[in-house]
Amino acid sequence: MKKDDCIFCKIANGEIPSTTLYEDEEFRVILDLGPASRGHALILPKEHYANLYEIEDDTAAKVMVLAKKMAKAMTKGLKADGFNLVQNNGETAGQTVFHFHLHLIPRYADEKKIIEWTPGTISKEEMEKIASQVKEQL
């Protein structure tokens, strides 16, 4: 399904032009308009899924296979030194466009860190509690 008012549906399906690195029947890979690094790109499924919670299992699996293919080509072609995959779900997590997308971010040795957090601390009891809260939902 496509969603009428979704900009990434329109870009993925070619109704709005984009700089496309790769396209097949199910996906389009485009350059991000506000890049975090040189070559920052997005994998867009042509079908509309708002986020990871909604995406079909087989589409999700194909996204990772395509990410590997793109990461190898981009690392070689752009002479990158490393690579981040980023995927935001929900406003709290930084999602701003509510059509599933995977960020492909080439990294270069002479750049500052793009993704970082301050490691916290956790007790054994809290780890056990977290594990049981998640496991009861699986």
Catalytic residues: 101
Residue 105 — φ and ψ, nearest 5°?
Answer: -120, 100
The answer for residues whose C-beta is within 8 angstroms of residue 86's C-beta and 6 or more apart is: 102, 103, 105, 115
Nearer to ligand 5GP, 31 or 62 (CB): 31
Considering the complex, state which of residue 13 and residue 75 has its C-beta at the smaller distance from Zn ion: 13
Q: What's the rounded Cα separation, in Å, for the pair 97 and 95?
A: 6
Chain residue at closest Cβ approach to Zn ion: 6
Locus of tokens 């709290």 = 92
Residues 74-93 that bind ligand 5GP (CB under 6 A): 88
User: By the 8 A CB rule, do 95 and 51 touch?
Assistant: yes
Q: Rule CB under 5 A: which of 25-84 touch Zn ion?
A: 48
71 torsion bin: left (phi>0), alpha (psi -120 to 50), beta (else): alpha
CB contact set of 122 (below 8 Å; sequence gap of 6+): none
Residue from the set 52, 78, 97, 111 that interacts with ligand 5GP by CB under 6 A = 97
Site string for ligand 5GP, 27-66 (x = CB under 6 A): ---xxxxx--------------------------------
Q: Nearer Cβ to ligand 5GP, position 14 or 126?
A: 14
Where does this chain bind ligand 5GP (CB under 6 A)?
A: 7, 18, 30-34, 88, 94-97
